[in-house]
Amino acid sequence: MRVVVQRVKRAAVTNDSIHNEIDKGYCLLVGIGKETTEADIEAVAKKIINARLFEDDNGKLNLNIQQVDGQILSISQFTLYADVRKGNRPGFSNSKNPEEANVLYEKFNTALRSYDVEVQTGEFGTDMEVEIINDGPVTIIYESQDGKII
């Protein structure tokens, strides 16, 4: 599992059927790989919730998303598993099949919500427009394999 976390002042996602937005918090680009398990889901959700990516009164990154009453916009992003080693067209065989990936993506969002953080989502498997006002910029990549952060 790979998740790109961007600390944002505001983020929104839209397509023909949805419009979800958040203010201060994280925009998550969530990649579910072929080997992603429920243990990975739990490990990454816990790590992201506890990550100290917000500044305290001294300007140090010491506060987590709960401490700043932040929100999360979670967007599925199978292209995080693009294989670009050969040719110029990326391959996506390292991504989990869409049906299984959607189940794990929903479980990930449920795991995030279990920490009493508001989580908005994009729409799995559709083209979307994502608007991000990055704060900092602070962008961190979390990856898990076999239930362990790597």
**Any catalytic annotation for residue 110?**
no
The answer to whether residues 22 and 71 touch, using CB atoms and an 8 Å cutoff, is yes
Output Rg (C-alpha) for the chain, integer angstroms: 15
Which one is catalytic: 36, 79, 110, 126?
79
Q: How far apart are CA 90 and CA 93, in angstroms?
A: 10
Give the DSSP letter of residue 85.
S
- C-alpha 24/C-alpha 55 separation (Å) is 12
- C-alpha 79/C-alpha 142 separation (Å) is 15
Write out the catalytic residue numbers. Answer: 79
